[in-house]
Structure 1
Amino acid sequence: MADLMLSTPIRIRPHGSNTIRDVVTLRDASEILIDWPQAKRGPFYQAAREQIEAALNGDGGAAQAQEAFAALCNHAGVLVR
């Protein structure tokens, strides 16, 4: 599994946290998804998970995975602008 750098870091405030985290690699994003609350998993989560795993396995594009993760974070209200 490759650890691909994001073109720009994505800043998030994880659920239930006051801490801001900079997500700089797809592996970071994958770790965030592991801890994503079960009750908040839906189509955006599933799309991000599939895109990130595909990119990490060399079967998908990193840019698409980053976009899917950013969309999930924005939809969930954890994206810090």
Structure 2
Amino acid sequence: MLPLGVGAWLVTRKLSSAPQLSHWQNLLEVLVVNLRDQIQQTSGQNPDRYLPFIGMLGVADRSMNQIEERIEGS
């Protein structure tokens, strides 16, 4: 959980709306826009309601896969 928290803090600590975006912010925005588009195309509804839930499912899935790989690698 600590690596997720630190990673989230590092990526979001200097968010801006200026024309010059950091590489991390640009990556984060690309991921969010693509996820929103996929939700919109799949459900045909406004993705704002589902975005946090589906995003968290993705983070949880990735985290569990990382944990499983570390356990099996031990």
Flag the structure with higher helix content.
Answer: 2
Greater RCO (CA < 8 Å, at least 6 residues apart) = 1
Q: If the length of structure 2 is used for normalisation, what is the TM-score?
A: 0.33
Larger Rg: 2
Structure with the larger strand share: 1
> Under a length normalisation based on structure 1, what TM-score does the superposition of the two structures give?
0.31
